[in-house]
């Protein structure tokens, strides 16, 4: 146990020394206004570089991705029909589509699908 603690202490101090040496030896760079400014074909930008982002657009995109993934989960249900009987297939399909519709109605009720500017 003492051997493991001593080895871990040696490793800790070696890494600490290496990090300190790296900071001392490394080339220091000064922050330059031209290097930190955005590059726009060699010209200074006319407007602010940070454009406002529409949160509603982000929510619509997120809902699209979620329903897109759900559609890819629906496709294998067609192939399941070959290997299961009709009762199991209809119950699985109905349950999955019912859950999708509940999610859609919830998003609709919350107003996330309304596109307002």
The CA distance from 29 to 27, in Å, is 6
pLDDT in tens, 77-95: 878 778 888 888 888 889 9
Task: For 41-66, write each residue's pLDDT tens digit.
Answer: 655 556 665 666 677 777 778 888 88
Beta-bridge partner residues of 43: 40
State the residue for tokens 């989960």. Answer: 73
Residue 41 in 3-state DSSP?
coil
Least confident of 9-23, 36-50, 64-78: 36-50
Residue 42 parent element (H or E): none
Contact yes or no for 45/38 (Cβ under 8 A)? yes
């Amino acid at each position: 146990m003492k051997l493991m603690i001593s080895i871990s202490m040696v490793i800790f101090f070696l890494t600490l020394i290496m990090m300190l040496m790296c900071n001392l030896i490394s080339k220091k760079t000064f922050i330059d206004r031209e290097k930190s400014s955005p590059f726009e074909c060699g010209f200074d930008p006319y407007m602010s570089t940070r454009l406002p982002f529409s949160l509603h657009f982000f929510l619509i995109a997120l809902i699209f991705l979620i329903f897109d993934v759900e559609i890819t989960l629906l496709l294998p249900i067609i192939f399941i029909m070959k290997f299961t009987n009709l009762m199991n297939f209809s119950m699985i399909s109905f349950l999955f589509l019912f859950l999708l519709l509940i999610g859609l109605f919830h998003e609709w009720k919350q107003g996330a699908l309304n596109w307002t500017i």
